[in-house]
């Protein structure tokens, strides 16, 4: 894969410009964007920056992080607090994401999205209110392990770190998660599954694969 240097500001602007050209899949009035990456790659920061750029262009944008859709501790930690396979396979409540975030934005959906469901620190429901994303709005769903799960997306962005960079930028207390990212890379193939790949080994000097071909005009 050929990657070209790009500044962080130009990256955000280019992605925002592309997103405003997209129509939701299957006739949906909403656009769904996945921003996939390890916590060390900062997918949430890119999602927030992209949301700001979209709002400046007149597009409503809703940022949702997968950290608010983890399963209860009794499920997440069934095999211990530092089980890398469980981290990949069990932590994320994919059913809740489908039900509360993605399906409401299907064609004919309500547009009512739950921004978070579960507080993993307190291990209880957040009781957050639903947010209605108006037609023409953009969902920015960010977090780790989003690709290879058949989540519907009009654009999928993968924030890539080499194994060495991932290890360096992952806090010592969280390095038990590294085998999960190694498995994810091998099994989900995020470099191939994503529409856009951004390499962030040096966050001051990102590189990217460029944008996909522009959508066809009807």
pTM metric for this prediction: 0.95
Contact in structure between 153 and 82 (CB atoms under 8 Å): no
113-151 residues labelled b (16+ CB within 10 A) or e (exposed):
bbbbbbebeeeeeeeeeeeebeeebbbbbbbbbbbeeeb
Quote the pLDDT of residue 23.
73
The one-digit pLDDT tens for each residue of the chain (218 residues) are 899 999 999 999 999 999 999 977 667 899 999 999 999 999 999 999 999 999 999 999 999 999 999 999 999 999 999 999 999 999 999 999 999 999 999 999 999 999 999 999 999 999 999 999 999 999 999 999 999 999 999 999 999 999 999 999 999 999 999 999 999 999 999 999 999 999 999 999 999 999 998 666 55
* Whole-angstrom distance, CA of residue 176 vs CA of residue 33: 29
Helix (H, G, I), strand (E, B) or coil at 210: coil
All domains in the chain, ordered by first residue: 4-203 (3.40.50.300)
Neighbours of 58 (CB within 10 A): 8
Measured CA to CA, the distance from residue 93 to residue 97 in angstroms comes to: 7
């Amino acid at each position: 894969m050929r990657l070209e240097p790009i500044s962080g500001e130009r990256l955000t602007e280019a992605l925002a410009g592309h997103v405003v050209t997209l129509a939701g899949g299957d006739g949906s009035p909403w656009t769904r964007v996945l921003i996939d990456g390890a916590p060390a790659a900062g997918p949430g920061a890119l999602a927030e920056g992209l949301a700001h750029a979209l709002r400046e262009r007149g597009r409503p944008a809703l940022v949702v992080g997968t950290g608010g859709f983890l399963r209860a501790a009794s499920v997440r930690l069934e095999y211990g607090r530092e089980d890398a396979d469980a981290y990949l396979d069990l932590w994320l409540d994919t059913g809740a994401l489908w039900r509360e975030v993605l399906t409401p934005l299907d064609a004919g959906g309500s547009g009512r999205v739950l921004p978070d469901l579960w507080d993993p620190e307190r291990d209880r429901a957040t009781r957050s209110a639903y947010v209605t994303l108006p037609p023409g709005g953009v969902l920015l769903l960010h977090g780790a392990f989003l690709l290879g799960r058949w989540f519907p997306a009009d654009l999928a962005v993968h924030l890539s770190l080499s194994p060495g960079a991932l290890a360096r930028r992952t806090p010592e207390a969280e390095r038990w998660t590294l085998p999960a990212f190694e498995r994810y890379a091998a099994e989900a193939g995020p470099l191939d599954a994503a529409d856009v790949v951004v390499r962030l080994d040096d966050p001051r000097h990102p590189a990217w694969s460029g944008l996909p071909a522009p959508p066809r005009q009807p």
